[in-house]
Structure 1
């Protein structure tokens, strides 16, 4: 039989008469950095997923669900070990997370070979959006370039002529800067790549300060963003040199950055300030449970659980139908971010918004100031043969 649910975890064995019965569970592998500087990014994705699972009564598609957590430590080799364990030993029905593009790309061969449905909740690298797209690989978050493309268009529309670019030196960093340049037509003063998880940016900020740029565009997620923005502020550049960003000032970093982030404009597919019925419900539930405001990472994790719930129902226990069911579910469920569907390459087709951090009511908050890209299809989809 070609069934989805025989992969089981036994919580307890119950014997009724002469028959041994077990409660079968759908098993979901969750891989993310749960330690180190980027742990806040991974934890928010996990918390969003678990919140949705709790609201679904601990079930996906009506079947009791268990989540097997793995910490990839933002190291591709550790991520590969985790993925192999989840597939070969834990026999999971789907994998969620794979938060950073270098970890996802490192695990790509085993994921493709296994055919296990994988939903990335913080990555959409350009190779798998294009020629290397696969039917079992999805991004619930974004194609990496998308938010940066929105900021490129936003900065272009503002008439800024000279921009300095900065990002960490890995696949997502390169995708972000490529995305910005796709829509920005002014002068790129310099394009600087720093080490992943670099703690000190004083030398790079000094170079930026002396560059003569009118603005800076940066991609520094999680702990990297906290360090960079604080050091930018300490250098006296806040309020003097406009900062445009993606994944740098968000729900995970703003509590630490506070006033240092005021004035920063960021591009994203989601912010807790979005005014939709689904988002108001999500934000209220997340804040009540975790005592903090959800980030875009939490939103992606939350949406992933709800998509899987609908997909498992559609698949009806047939593993061969799960990937197609995920694709269909993407067009039917109600995302907290607004309009959403999976494109031909299994990347999101969605709006990208512009948010500014402002001081309001005695504290820094984010407010929507534009929608640079609506129902945006990434530029790599045409290369996908799905």
Structure 2
């Protein structure tokens, strides 16, 4: 997909216009995202956010024309590996950007870093990639998986909830989610329930919750899973009795389907559309105008990934051959993140702020997360100390 476009839009308005075009081959970026199935909306937001940034730079990053090759990993690690190998061996991409899900992120790491290609995650942040399996070729513009969930663990602890029910899908990110929650919550876990990935019927879990009567539930249930869980939770009459704490379960990717069923529910995030920063306000306005949807963190992280690549290439004069120089430029993160505070830790993951957010209905009838309070300031993930292959 060739995104060479002449207008500069938001990037020009924010003083982000690319440097003069260089007489070089097109920069090739492989965008690996889940674009089919119940969780496709997550990948669509990331794709749209990245492509919007490239459009804003006039189809260039760091002064080079960009060819963005979008592939659907189908939420299947083996499919993702095959497609990533094609991006590297056939298409000769300079960067692989994505994916959404952590089981895919772990599977594709080896072929990417073995080829000494830079790998930028715009969502998935599994604990092993942040710790013992970190790589100098890996950077994330999102977070380590545990961190958003840690927000809710601290909130539950601070609010004095004595008993909490935990619910997550049975894969790496689900395990990281519950581990993150428990890092700060010291009360009683009445149940720790894992369901198969892409579960859509939660009646048995809701019956348990109703009978156990916890002070709150905490869940990580992204995409279509979250849509169904929230609707079924509200329909079962639990939303008014048992506080619903989550991350990635009620956000801008799921709210168009959940709507009123999600109002008042809480999430943990490093960002929200109403974050009061000029660059964020401009991004949200432009994204809504382009796609008629409220952007979520998936779109924001992808937009930031394009800003990161642009900033690094400006520093290297558009060159990608010197891997050490490109790595140093990426590590510097010399761009204005849409979320504000942003710098990389030794493991390639951001050091950033985190918030408790709450679901609200806007005056225009659309739904969004809104910042309730800051919970962590300049927060480093718990696994960075295990990383020895530093960036």
User: TM-score higher than 0.5 here?
Assistant: yes
Aligned to 1:87: 88
Aligned to 2:360: 358
Q: Residues 134-177 of structure 1, C-alpha deviation per residue, up to 9 Å, x if partnerless? A: 00011111100010011111111111111100000000000010
Q: Residues 225-249 of structure 1, C-alpha deviation per residue, up to 9 Å, x if partnerless? A: 1011011111111111100000111
Structure 1 residue 291 corresponds to structure 2 residue 295:
no
CA contact (8 A) 1:242 1:263 kept: no
CA contact (8 A) 1:250 1:271 kept: no
Structure 1 residue 111 corresponds to structure 2 residue 115:
no
Counterparts of 1:301-312 in structure 2 under 5 Å? 301-312=302-313
In structure 1, C-alpha distance between the alignment counterparts of 2:284 and 2:308, rounded to whole Å: 18
Q: Residues 111-150 of structure 1, C-alpha deviation per residue, up to 9 Å, x if partnerless? A: 1211100101111110010111100011111100010011
Matched residues, number: 365
In structure 1, C-alpha distance between the alignment counterparts of 2:266 and 2:242, rounded to whole Å: 12
Structure 1 residue 53 corresponds to structure 2 residue 57:
no
Counterparts of 1:148-159 in structure 2 under 5 Å? 148-159=149-160
In structure 2, C-alpha distance between the alignment counterparts of 1:180 and 1:67, rounded to whole Å: 36
In structure 2, C-alpha distance between the alignment counterparts of 1:367 and 1:147, rounded to whole Å: 15
In structure 2, C-alpha distance between the alignment counterparts of 1:123 and 1:360, rounded to whole Å: 29
CA contact (8 A) 1:286 1:292 kept: yes
Aligned to 1:367: 370
Aligned to 1:346: 348
In structure 2, C-alpha distance between the alignment counterparts of 1:318 and 1:84, rounded to whole Å: 19
In structure 2, C-alpha distance between the alignment counterparts of 1:92 and 1:351, rounded to whole Å: 32
- Larger mean Cα displacement after TM superposition, 38-47 or 204-213: 204-213
In structure 1, C-alpha distance between the alignment counterparts of 2:288 and 2:296, rounded to whole Å: 11
CA contact (8 A) 2:24 2:64 kept: no
Counterparts of 1:251-330 in structure 2 under 5 Å? 251-316=252-317, 317-319=319-321, 320=323, 321-328=325-332, 330=333
Aligned to 1:100: 101
In structure 2, C-alpha distance between the alignment counterparts of 1:23 and 1:313, rounded to whole Å: 14
In structure 2, C-alpha distance between the alignment counterparts of 1:48 and 1:204, rounded to whole Å: 35
Aligned to 1:214: 215
CA contact (8 A) 2:31 2:98 kept: yes
Task: Please list every run of 5 or more consecutive structure 1 residues that lacks an aligned counterpart in the other structure.
Answer: 1-8, 12-21
Aligned to 1:162: 163
Q: Residues 259-298 of structure 1, C-alpha deviation per residue, up to 9 Å, x if partnerless? A: 1001210001111111111100100110111111101100
CA contact (8 A) 1:33 1:41 kept: yes
Task: Please list every run of 5 or more consecutive structure 2 residues that lacks an aligned counterpart in the other structure.
Answer: 5-22
In structure 1, C-alpha distance between the alignment counterparts of 2:376 and 2:238, rounded to whole Å: 29
- How far off is 1:365 after superposition? 4.0
- How far off is 1:24 after superposition? 2.4
What SS is found at the alignment partner of 2:242?
A: coil
Aligned to 1:180: 181
In structure 2, C-alpha distance between the alignment counterparts of 1:217 and 1:300, rounded to whole Å: 24
Q: Residues 202-227 of structure 1, C-alpha deviation per residue, up to 9 Å, x if partnerless? A: 11111111112110000011111101
- How far off is 1:318 after superposition? 3.9
Alpha-carbon distance change, 358 to 284 in structure 1, aligned in 2, over 3 angstroms? closer
- How far off is 1:359 after superposition? 4.3
CA contact (8 A) 1:354 1:371 kept: yes
CA contact (8 A) 2:271 2:339 kept: yes
Aligned to 1:334: 336
- Larger mean Cα displacement after TM superposition, 123-132 or 358-367: 358-367
Structure 1 residue 379 corresponds to structure 2 residue 390:
no
CA contact (8 A) 2:94 2:320 kept: no
Question: Considering only aligned residues, what root-mean-square deviation do their CA atoms show, in Å?
Answer: 1.5
In structure 2, C-alpha distance between the alignment counterparts of 1:268 and 1:245, rounded to whole Å: 10
Aligned to 1:19: none
CA contact (8 A) 2:273 2:370 kept: no
Query: What's the TM-score, normalizing by structure 2?
Result: 0.91
